[in-house]
Amino acid sequence: MINFLFSFSLFSVLGWILEVVYRSFVNKRFVNPGLLSGPYLILYGFAGLILCFCANLMSHANIFLKALLYGIITTTLEFVSGVISLKLFNTRLWDYSDNRFNYKGLICLKFSIYWTALALLFDYFIYPNYMKLLDTIPISTKLIFGIGVIVCMGIDFGKVFKARFFNPEEEETLRQEFWDLAADYVKNPAILKLNDSFHHRDKTRLMHVIEVAYISFVIAKKMSLDVSSTVKGALLHDLFYYDWLREGPRLHGFRHPKISLENARKIYPLSKKEEDIIKKHMWPLTPMPPLYWESFVVAMVDSFCSFRDYIPCLRRYYFKDEIKKLLNKSES
């Protein structure tokens, strides 16, 4: 795990250096690549880890098979990260439109050949030496560097994300708009009943689904997605009634999306998109990837909300008064 953290951080920083040198040389001025302001590129961190995994797995494969696989992996990674930065941040980080054999300006033959050559270089020369070097680095150094870079990256990413999606001046209008959409669902006794179970620490499952639905709503709106399906799917994504820490089925993490989906079908007709949102909300823990952007957004927001619920200084409570009012009404 420590090697994993350290390698991810190191490859992110080395990737940034590689891009700075290349882009600054091409543009004849200093260029800071990527969305974040610090000296790291998340894409290279992931790519480095995947290449290490492949180099280890295919140590006996011939060079042609490796070239083919590396070409597919690096091109796919480049395409996926290009699409995500375009869709999520409205930012085109590179543009290959002027290159021949390009697709949507995000990938092109010339750079796929470059990446494949770089991946082969990594496999034959860098990886074996890196593995030897890794054993000589003290654990404390790996830990400090690995965690330090990831924390800086997280803060940096949080700032960029907040600037893109959350404008304090719009908050009141967005809250009102969200509640207009969500209140009818929350009033449903099957959903209100989620208030009887604690989900994360002192937060009830009702508070959790409302938080996930609200943040997903704000992001979906900025991305021009289907906000009503996002809100409905997010409100229904954890529709189960057992205390998951003490009871319920084994492997709860893998099985509760299906349980929630079955419960949700009993109270509402669901579109394919809404079913996908509920079914895939634990991705990437459950391996089938989301089929819609709305499902991707809810899955990411759910992970984020769950993570910050365990860090007291980050924990937030949404729509407390509105929830209280609805609960009082349902009791009287």
Give residues in contact with Fe ion (CB under 5 A): 238, 302
**Closer by beta carbon to Fe ion, 163 or else 285:** 285
**Closer by beta carbon to Fe ion, 148 or else 253:** 253
**Closer by beta carbon to Fe ion, 71 or else 233:** 233
Smallest gap from residue 256 Cβ to Fe ion (A): 6
**Closer by beta carbon to Fe ion, 238 or else 276:** 238
Spatial distance between the Cα atoms of 147 and 239, rounded to a whole number of angstroms = 35
**Closer by beta carbon to Fe ion, 73 or else 206:** 206
Which neighbouring-strand residues pair with 203? 200
Q: What is the DSSP string of 221-250?
A: HHTT--HHHHHHHHHHTT---S-TTTSS-T
Rounded-to-10 torsion of CA 230, 291, 160, 318: 30
Please name which of 158, 138, 129, 187 lies closest in space to residue 35, comparing C-alpha atoms. Answer: 158
Smallest gap from residue 240 Cβ to Fe ion (A): 8
Spatial distance between the Cα atoms of 187 and 329, rounded to a whole number of angstroms = 9
Smallest gap from residue 199 Cβ to Fe ion (A): 7
**Closer by beta carbon to Fe ion, 3 or else 303:** 303
> What are the percentages of helix, strand and coil residues in the chain, rounded to 5?
70, 5, 25
Q: How many residues can be counted in the chain?
A: 332
Smallest gap from residue 182 Cβ to Fe ion (A): 15
**Closer by beta carbon to Fe ion, 94 or else 318:** 318
Contacts of 206 (CB under 8 A, 6+ apart): 186, 191, 192, 194, 195, 323
Smallest gap from residue 237 Cβ to Fe ion (A): 6
Smallest gap from residue 302 Cβ to Fe ion (A): 4
Burial class of residue 38 (count of CB atoms within 10 Å of its CB; 0-12, 13-18, 19+): middle
**Closer by beta carbon to Fe ion, 73 or else 278:** 278
Smallest gap from residue 195 Cβ to Fe ion (A): 15
Smallest gap from residue 249 Cβ to Fe ion (A): 13
Which neighbouring-strand residues pair with 198? 204
Q: Which two tokens stand for residue 10?
A: 């190191």
The CA-CA-CA angle for residues 172, 175, 178, to 5°, reads 150
